[in-house]
Amino acid sequence: MTRSRRERIKKEQSAPPTPSLLRVFGKFRFEMEQYNEKNKVLLLSGVRRIIRYTPTELIFDTGGEILTLTGENLLCRTYTSGALDVIGVIRTCSFGKEAEGDHASGT
């Protein structure tokens, strides 16, 4: 084994685990981490309500901002006291303002 290969292996073995992505927006908290090869887990707190829930799209009201997740096999595993976690293949995550008079029915 060459010296450079030994150094590379040693560096890889000593590397810290991949950190989660954490963002805090006022009272809203957003943390994402890799669950397995395909899926990610998204932990949210500060969610006021779930506006839309399908296996390919989740829309949340975070109090002034609307959070939209798209992907595949999206599953909200828990939702209690404004905190929830979502697992699945998360493709996009976007924030936007709720349009005036736009009150989704939750379908």
pLDDT tens, residue by residue, 43-92: 888 888 999 999 999 999 988 789 899 999 999 988 888 889 999 999 99
21 is written with which tokens? 């992505």
Domain boundaries, given as residue ranges, for the chain: 19-96
Select from 33, 53, 57, 55 the least CA-distant residue to 43.
33
**C-alpha triplet 90, 94, 97: angle, nearest 5°:** 145
Q: Are 10 and 3 in contact (CB under 8 A)?
A: no
Q: Is the pTM of this model over 0.85?
A: no
Q: What are the start-end ranges of the H helices in 1-107?
A: 3-14
CATH 2.60.40.2000 for domain 19-96, yes or no, is: yes
* Mean pLDDT score across all residues of the chain: 78
**C-alpha triplet 30, 35, 37: angle, nearest 5°:** 130
pLDDT exceeds 70 at position 9? no
β-strands 83-96, 40-45 pairing: antiparallel
